[in-house]
Each structure stands twice: as C-alpha cells, then as structure tokens.
Amino acid sequence: MIGVAVNPTEQDVVAEFFELFKTPWEFHRNDGRYDVLICTREEVPQNTAKLVLLYGVKTVTPDTVAGFVVKMRHGGATLVYKGRHMPIYGDLATFPGSLFAPVTEAGSGESATFSQKSDNRIVFRIGYDLFKEARHVFDVGQPAANAGSATLDLHVALMRDLVVGAGIPVVEIPPVPEGHNFITCLTHDIDHPVLRNHCFDHTMVGLLFRATVGTTVNVCRRRKSLKALCVNWTAALKLPFIYLGMARDFWREFDRYIEIEDGLASTYFVIPTSNYAGRPFGGNGIARRATRYDVTDIRPQLQRVISSGCEVGVHGIDSWVDSTKGCEERERVAKTLSTAVAGVRMHWLFFDENSPVVSERAGFSYDSTVGYNETVGYRAGTLQAYKPLAADNLLELPLHIMDTALFFPDYLNLSEEDAKQKVWNLIRDAAELGGALTINWHDRSIAPERLWDGFYRKLLRELKQRGAWFATAAQAVSWFRKRRSAEVEITRVEEDRLRIKASARSDDKLPRLRVRVHKPQAGKSAKGTPAGSASAFVDIAFEGSVDTEIKL
C-alpha cells in the first residue's frame, strides 16, 4: 500500500494521477501502515514506511543530513530518464555529486535525485513537485516543442521503478488489454466529403494547385512518384466533368476506409451543420471553418460505416464553448443516423480550459480533441484516457497522430520516410508504456491530391505487427472506465508470498484486465542502481474478479 501525504489542494490531481498508475494507494492517515510513503510536504509525517519518496524543490531535512548542496533551476528544465527527455515545467532541484542518478538534468548531467538509507528505511529524494507538474500537464498541456515526451506516463514509470528498485513489489492494473500490447483508435475527421460542393472556392483552388504544381515539384524532389503525378493530373483534368455530374466525385468515397481497414474498428467524426463557422476562437472569427456539408448529406455512407461495426461521433462546431449548442449538435447527428452518439472531437481542434465541462454538460461521455494541429505527439502528456480535473465524468481520449500535421507544408512537411520514423517512435512508446494511440486520417487523405493511403496502409500493418487492439474511440474509453473501476487488495501471506484480490466492472465485450506484479530481483541494491534495472513482472488476466497468490 502507498500512502500519499500532500496538501489538501493537491488531492484532485493526486486522485487522477493514480488512475494513470492504477495501484493500491490512499491519502496518508496517521494510523495507516504503508510500504511506501509519497510526500510533497516540507515536513514528512511520522510513519513506518520502508520507502519514502520525497518530492519537492525546497531544501528539507534529508538534504541537510546528507550534506548535499541543492542547486535550483527556475522556470522549467529537461530531465533525461532511460534515454528519454522528461520536461519539468516548474522549478527543479539537482544534487551535484549524487551517485544515485536515475534521472539527470539534460544540460549539466547532474542528478535530480539522491538516495539515503538508515536502519530499515530508504529515502529517495526527487527534486521537483510531482503533483504540480501533473496539474500543469493535465490543465495546460504540453507545447509542441515537448510533443515527443509522454511526460505523465514517464512520471508513472519512474515512480514504479523507484519502488521496485528499493526491493518492494508493485501490484498494478496496467493500461494494457489482455491479449494485446496496447490500444489503437483509428479515427477520421470528415471535413470535405463532397468535392462538387467546392466550386471556385479556396478548397478547390488549393486542390488544383497541389494536384498539379505541388505534385510536380514533389516528384522533382523525389517525394512523390510518377504514378502519383499521373493520378493527380488526371484528377485535375476531370474536375470540370465532376462538377457537371459526368465523372465520379472521388472525394465522396471516404467510406473506402472500410475496405482499407478490412474489419478493423474505427470512428468517424462528422459535422452536424453546414455553412456555419461557429463562435470566434481567441477573439477572431474564421469563416473558412464553415464546411459545405452536414451530416444529412452523407447519411448513406455513414450508415454503411455503422453497419460495418464502426462508430460515428460529432465533429463539433460550438460544442467546445456552448453546452446548449453542443447538445443540439449531438442530437442532430444521433437523430439523422438513428444511433447513440457518445463522443466529440472539435473541428480544427478548438478547445480551452472550460471545454471539458461544456462538452460534459452537452451530454458527451468522451472528447478526443486534445492534440496538435502542427505536430504529432503528446499534448496531454499521456497515452491514456484521463478525466480532466474540472470534469465530473467525461474522459479525454488524447489525439496523437494526424496526417495533415505530418505532411502539410505549413506543418511538419515530412517525407514518407521521415514521417515513418516519427510515427514508428510513437508506436514503440505505446508498446512499452501501454495506453491508447489515437490516429486521425481525414476523409480526403486517401483521394487525390493527397494520396496518403499508401502510408496509412503501412501504418496499419505496423500496428498489427506490434499487437494493437483496434477499438473505436467509445470502446477504448469504455475499457478505460472498466480499468478505473478496478480495486486491488494486497495481503502478505508469507515473507515471499502475496495474496492479491482484484475486482472491476465486468464487460465481456471488452478485453479483460490484467493484474501485473512487478517482482524485485534478488541481490539488487537500490542505492546507486539505475531505476528499472531490477524488476520482472507477471500478469494475471481477469474478468470481474480474481483472488490469487503470487510467490515473489
């Protein structure tokens, strides 16, 4: 059991952090008995814990006793943990000369931790305020410069490694569905499903330019093939015939994703109302945000999508800022398609600090907006669905990879090979850390002039090979709710044997949960040992409940 001693104002963020790290814990009680005490207070409460994790930047008694001179860095820093960058958004304390260095400051190489052992207790001092860091990431998110860091998941991994490295077993419910290595949510924002709606506007002009001049330039730069050049020039020459109704509208076949994905579950976010740009964002109205279609225009395609086992959600216009409008948007899509609508993603990824509450009041059970337009990675700092701190029940399923961010000239503008390296790194993270990797491939991205279907097929093959569970956004969120319902009780039967009882909401339509037991390896010393070098784990799958014993 972990006891957590924090100030009362931190309790909400502590509770959500331990939904990411699903292990037995409670707020510190004076009469509680704990294996591990986590403390962010200046004064450590009286306790009998074998291990104390003392987070914070201010000089405290263990610093003085250990004889370390605390070196302060204000206004942010970057740590290196297991070769990964882990940004710190508040102040950081380092301990020059410490030999215990699972995390170091990137510039100086100085350790942000030290280890102190006396009698039967180990104290690990960590030089930042964990829960202030977590609150910042939950509430503000990460800038694009730190998009490559799953910061919250790394904080969880470091805590786990410190505990196991001190010789204490860790029991958790990992964010990994039974039978798979991680979750993948394939999603599609439907923005331009009918080319004929765009006649002599910026969308049509942009298509014509990129299909001809843009593709020709990319062929010369060896970023597009001659085949793509032929396809795009042919599409450009067909435009007059498409507008006259004499040729097939190649944008109207976004449900070709059903064939490409070949039985894999995915989620389509659709615009409820046409020719409406929505409320201004940042004080500026953007007329181009209005779309030339609404959900009724593509009802047949969406009904095929639903029949194939996929999900339809709302591509919200005002759902981020007006709960009444959001309710109207949700009901319009639901009524048009005669289906329940659970989730929303805002058009152009509009959101602010109040959006989770607004969307929740509009009747949505999940949102999938928190991501980047300009890059790929972890705006929310995690691969897991989480509850925004201001919300009561709504879960946020973060967006990690978007096609336009990878390939648009105004954004990353990557070649396919460079995009593969960046995206495959995120898949590697998901396989190592667990959670749900959420991908957005737009409706027109498999058609001329983009022709990004080849890369998408390669991406699907890699995800399959890595052992992903392909879930709709609603299914993934339901699985995380199932995990959030889990409770774990641990009893030490003998010195080397644990009895573990776990229970959770049962839903046999979703993959089972796992109890994961991290076993410290014999003969390893916590002091001076890199975090994570002294653990092995076993998994026990369960549905509903499990009662078992594990030998350490």
Q: What is the pLDDT of residue 535?
A: 57
How many angstroms from the chain centroid is the CA of residue 169? 27
Output 77-81 pairs: Cβ under 8 A, ≥24 positions apart.
Answer: 77/105, 77/106, 77/107, 78/105, 78/106, 78/107, 79/103, 79/104, 79/105, 79/106, 79/112, 80/104, 80/105, 80/106, 81/154, 81/157, 81/158, 81/531
Residue 502 CA to residue 379 CA, distance in Å, equals 32
Per-residue pLDDT for the chain (552 aa), expressed as one digit of tens each?
A: 999 999 999 999 999 999 999 999 999 999 999 999 999 998 888 888 999 999 999 877 776 776 777 888 998 999 999 999 999 999 999 999 888 999 999 989 999 999 988 878 899 999 999 999 999 999 999 999 999 999 999 999 999 999 999 999 999 999 999 999 999 999 999 999 999 999 888 888 989 999 999 999 999 988 899 999 999 999 999 999 999 999 999 998 999 999 999 999 999 999 999 999 999 887 666 889 999 999 999 999 999 999 999 999 999 999 999 999 999 999 999 999 999 999 999 999 999 999 999 999 999 999 999 999 999 999 999 999 999 999 999 999 999 999 999 999 999 999 999 999 999 999 999 999 999 999 999 999 999 999 999 999 999 999 999 999 999 999 999 999 999 999 999 998 888 899 999 999 999 899 999 999 999 875 444 443 444 444 589 999 999 999 999 888
What order do you get walking across the sheet with 170-172 strand by strand? 170-172, 513-520, 535-542
Say whether the peptide bond before residue 26 is cis (omega within 30 degrees of 0).
Answer: no
**Which residue do the tokens 């001329």 mark?**
448
3-class SS of residue 171: strand
Length of the chain: 552
Q: What is the pLDDT of residue 534?
A: 47
Pairwise CA distance, residues 120 & 112, whole Å: 23
CB 6 within 8 A of CB 44: no
Residues 6+ apart with CB under 8 A from 501: 488, 489, 491, 545, 546, 547
Q: Are 435 and 380 in contact (CB under 8 A)?
A: no
Kindly write down the DSSP assignment for every residue of 358-377, as one continuous string. Answer: HHHHTT-SEE---S-SSS-S
Q: Which CATH class is domain 182-194+251-480?
A: alpha beta
Decide: residue 547, CB within 10 A, 0-12 exposed, 13-18 middle, 19+ buried. exposed
Residue ranges per structural domain of the chain? 2-172, 182-194+251-480, 195-250, 490-551
| Segments of 441-526 assigned E as strands | 468-470, 487-494, 497-503, 513-520
Identify the CATH number of the domain defined by range 2-172.
Answer: 3.40.50.880
Output the CA torsion sign for 403, 283, 285, 366.
positive
- 314: nearest Cα among 190, 193, 194: 190
End-to-end Cα separation, the chain, in angstroms = 16
